[in-house]
């Protein structure tokens, strides 16, 4: 009987789905130690809790409810508007890829993406030799029902 959902497998599946959906973007299971591309998506560690719920049986079940922080980062732009626009394009593509059909599987009671902050353009600061970059943070929430655990 399952006691907890397989959080590493879900995180790995999100990497697979996004790598297929975002060619040319570096997609990583965790913070990439070495950037190989100017555009990247990566995931933080899962954080969660268990909640007892009544599934109508003799033994209550539990919901494994957890979140994963994720980041979209783009660099190498010459102006702030282009950096922000591309970051938003990738964030939109991430949302579409993760929530189209059953790409993450069907064992979920609930999966949602909550946009965080578009960190905005940074870099340059008047130095024309420094590239401008933009970062967006977001949270993915997953709820997995666990019966009679």
pLDDT band at 131 (very low <50, low <70, confident <90, very high): confident
For 28-50, how does the pLDDT look when each residue is reduced to its tens digit (9 = 90+)? 999 988 878 899 999 988 887 66
- Residue 134 in this model has a pLDDT that exceeds 50: yes
Residue-wise pLDDT tens digits, 56-73: 666 667 777 888 889 999
Supply the pLDDT for residue 137. 87
pLDDT at 120: 55
Q: What CA–CA distance (Å, rounded) separates 85 from 134?
A: 9
Task: Please give the average per-residue pLDDT across 92-104, as a whole number.
Answer: 82
Q: What does the pLDDT read at residue 142?
A: 82
Q: Are 32 and 40 in contact (CB under 8 A)?
A: yes
pLDDT of amino acid 20: 94
Query: Residue 126 and residue 20: Cα distance in Å, rounded?
Result: 37
Tell how far CA 70 is from the center of its chain: 4
148, pLDDT greater than 80 = no
Sorting pLDDT into bands at 50, 70 and 90, what band is 149? Answer: very low
In the predicted model, is pLDDT for residue 27 greater than 70? yes
Whole-angstrom Cα distance, residue 17 to residue 75? Answer: 23
């Amino acid at each position: 009987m399952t006691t907890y959902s397989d959080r590493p497998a879900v995180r790995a599946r999100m990497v697979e789905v996004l790598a297929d959906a975002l060619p040319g973007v570096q997609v990583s299971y965790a913070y990439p130690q070495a950037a190989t591309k100017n555009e990247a998506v990566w995931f933080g560690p899962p954080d969660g809790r268990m909640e007892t719920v009544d599934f109508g049986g003799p033994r209550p079940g539990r919901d494994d409810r957890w979140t994963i922080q994720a980041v979209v980062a783009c660099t190498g732009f010459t102006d702030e508007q282009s950096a922000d626009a591309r970051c938003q394009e990738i964030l939109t593509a991430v949302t579409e890829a993760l929530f189209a059909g059953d790409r993450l599987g069907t064992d979920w009671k609930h999966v949602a993406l909550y946009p965080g902050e578009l960190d905005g353009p940074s870099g340059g600061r008047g130095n024309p030799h420094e590239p401008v970059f933009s970062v967006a943070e977001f949270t993915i929430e997953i709820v997995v029902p666990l019966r009679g655990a």
